[in-house]
Chains A and B, each alone.
Chain A
Amino acid sequence: MVRKRVVVVTGVSDYWGARVAAQLLQQPDLHVIGVDKEPPKGPIQNLDYIQADVRNPLLAEFLRSEEVDTVCHLVFAESERPGETGFETNIAGAMKLLGACSEADVRKVVLKSSMMAYGARADNSAFLIEESPLHGHPRSGTIRDLVEIEGFCNGFRGQAPNMVLTVLRFPSIVGPTTDTPLTRFLREVWTPVLMGFDPMMQVIHEEDTIGALVHAVQADVPGVFNIAAEGVLPLSQLMAVAGKFPIPVFHLFAYWGSNLLESSPMPVRRYLPLELDYMRYSWVGDLAKMHEQFGYMPRYTAVEALREFAGQKRLSHYSPRKTVQACDEERLRDTIERRRRARELEAQMMVNVEEAGRDA
């Protein structure tokens, strides 16, 4: 019997780790090991779970003894402001993991990042290519961590030239089950926006996020990729499709208010899940590299992903049973369209492969 390829997924106690591990377990040729400090919240069938922290000094030995081929690193702790926990879990965790992987001759490492790392700035080009500088955001903990990890990865590529290091940058992720800054924002009752600003936004569906990560584990695609759904739309349209009414706030007041809340001694609930700059300037990634080199196309378009999210959100006001969704005509129409597109894409790819074979 051929030995299965061993894949380690870190962070299986969190949403992304658990979803990606479950998806990878569908592949017959993979042996999936889940590594995390805490056990998965729900049962994941056939998952080979090992309780360990990625910062454990023995991690390299573990990876070597298991003959691990690929590591998909999904441990990430969101934090509003730069702090010690974020540094320890995210930055130190990624550095130590990458070090251990290189020591244990792991062939491939896959990391999930965000386009937020580019930073939302007035001088951003309309489409940011992967090589654009990562300006980040000075005050967001999550984004600072992402920028530091990516900076470390860039340096690491030189140190371990044989390793396939894939970093996927996603825009705001939406979907019925995920919890991201944008979905939190769209689930708020009041959705303030900055008056007179309407930046272009990209989104991606949660299934496509997982699909892209799984694809990166299965195929060898070294490098950094922007991964987003087809369609760039202004924030106002995004909110309209998601069924939210924008409440315009003069931007200076919004910034003052945000600073005021920031400095107040009371532990206030985060008034806005998105950083204000990210609702003021656009931070749209260029998808040419995804189209040409990545080999996975998101199934959902931006509007479809938002429509599905909106339907689920509307329903959640009335009934907790998610099965009712199946009756939704709009949703089914989108699904039919999406599957048809996927088939077409596959057929196209087959033709391309055949042609390439003939040429050879």
Chain B
Amino acid sequence: MPDDIASPQTEPIPAPAAPVSAANEPYEEGRVSCMALTRAGQPCKNGPLPGSPYCRIHQTLAEEANAELPVEPQEQTSIVETIADEASNARTAAPDEGMRQQLAGELDTLIQRVRAKTPGYAPPPFSPRRLLELIKENLDKLSPEIGLSMLEQLRRTITNDVLNLETWKGIWYLLNYSLQYQAGVLKRRMTGEYEVDPWGLDLEFLDTIKPFFEFLYKIYWRVQTSGLENVPNAGRALLVGNHSGQLPWDGTMVGTALLTEHPAQRLVRSLYGTWFPTLPFFSEIFTKCGQVLGTVENGIRLLEQDELVAVYPEGYKGVGKLFSERYKLARFGRGGFVKMALKTGAPIIPFAVVGAEETYISLGKSQTLARLTGFPYFPISPAFPWFGLLGFVPLPTQWYIDFGEPIATDGYGPLAAENPVFVSQLTDQVRNVVQDMVYERLRKRRSVFFG
């Protein structure tokens, strides 16, 4: 019964506590083994370190897991994760009674929040057999971490000799809820009951494609970001940086950096060129991720709404640079971005992206093909267009994103935007700052692929 889970007397999810005693209990021919599951999903056969339920290999994993604070749960899946996290925390830390009470209390509030989201939700009646079937059917729908942590927990309760029914029930409840939630999402998308901001930002869509960009950010390009403290937690700011890499991957990575690594998880509104709205899918995906067409009116309006706006004043000239011209900044347009900043008093935060220039090697540009296809430029690289779509695969270089000190503009007043001399001076100043930041990073970088 789900009510049992919520009532504090019956220990909502007793898993955190139960395995502690199990840790040092023999479950395989009297030999004490490590608690963790191996990558293949088998119980680890190594002996544990003294005073710990884990072996040497898994000890580091457990420490890493402990180091990661449980994030604020936003959706059902993250609640499961949080519970799993707390479970693993509790296991290694061997909590005392007070810790147990605290964890139970936190879990209760989480359950209350889930309840509040879908009032009147009651899962189908529970039996361990049916739970296993449900997990089997839906294993591919769960993310690997969630699935693994669930199975790991269940495996442990079995070895505990006694079937720990409460754990099973808790997982039953969450799994049912999660599936119902997913079905609900689909239905809401079909009937149009979702929220989109006036610019077209669709947070559900963003959440769906975020993992892909996180993969690129963390694993593929191993982006190292510095200077995030220069980006304010709230309020308007204009990010100005160098553009490179034939395709606007640098924009996505700057966005991912601020969304995942910035303490306030800020969403960046990048201003893109007028070519993209004419392209299918680009137009749709850009809009749904909250990106906005680069016109001065749009920029001013966004900054007035205290958004974080990113511009790449080099435009197509910058992104379509030849390999031989890499990291030499092109002309910074007509200074439209400076006007935006001056009119709204937004600080200009320069940033440099290093590593993106080498993702594609553009050896030349074809005027004829550009005219035929309607592209603003048509790069010829060793892979493109000879290998077709394969030519779009970027090289896994090591990236750096550096945010510099903000340049205040509110002292000049909005009228300064009408002064062309001043605007062009400020434009050049910002360009020099960005160029210097790029060179600074290049000076430190030893290898294109290994940083």
Contacts and interface: CB of A to CB of B under 8 A. Distances in A.
A198 B283 contact: yes
Nearest to A230: B198
A207 B282 CA distance: 37
A237 B298 contact: no
A interface, over-half SS = loop
Contacts of B282: 196
A241 interface: yes
Given A122-B274, A122-B278, A241-B192, A127 B283 contact: no
Contact of A123 (B193, B274, B280, B284): B274
Among A195, A197, A239, A281: residue with most chain B CB under 10 A: A197
Contacts of A124: 293
Interface string A180-197: 000000000000001111
A126 B199 CA distance: 7
Contact of B298 (A126, A200, A239, A240): A126
A284 B275 CA distance: 19
Given A194-B280, A232-B198, A237-B196, A125 B293 contact: yes
Interface in A190-228: 194-198, 200
A240 B189 contact: yes
Nearest to A242: B192
B319 to A, nearest CB: 18
Interface in A301-345: 303
Nearest to A238: B192
B194 interface: yes
A79 B280 CA distance: 29
Interface size class for chain A? 20 to 34
Contact of B283 (A126, A196, A238, A239): A196
B288 interface: yes
B283 A197 contact: yes
Nearest to A233: B196
B297 interface: yes
Nearest to A281: B277
Contacts of B193: 241
B192 A126 contact: no
B432 interface: no
Nearest to B283: A197
A197 B284 contact: yes
A240 B191 contact: yes
B307 to A, nearest CB: 12
Contacts of A238: 192
B104 interface: no
Interface in A119-157: 122-127, 129
Contacts of B283: 196-198, 280
Interface string B180-200: 000000000111111010111
Contacts of B277: 122-123, 281
B313 to A, nearest CB: 17
A27 B306 CA distance: 45
A239 B298 CA distance: 26
Nearest to B191: A240
A250 interface: yes
A237 B192 contact: yes
A239 B196 CA distance: 14
Contact of A125 (B198, B280, B287, B295): B295
Given A197-B280, A281-B277, A237 B288 contact: no
A98 to B, nearest CB: 31
B301 interface: yes
A234 interface: yes
Interface of A: 122-127, 129, 194-198, 200, 232-234, 237-242, 250-251, 280-282, 284, 303
8 contacts: A122-B278, A122-B293, A126-B200, A126-B293, A194-B280, A232-B198, A237-B192, A280-B283
Given A122-B274, A233-B196, A241-B191, 18 more contacts: A122-B278, A124-B293, A126-B292, A127-B297, A127-B301, A196-B281, A198-B200, A198-B288, A200-B198, A200-B200, A237-B194, A237-B196, A239-B192, A240-B190, A241-B192, A241-B193, A250-B280, A303-B192
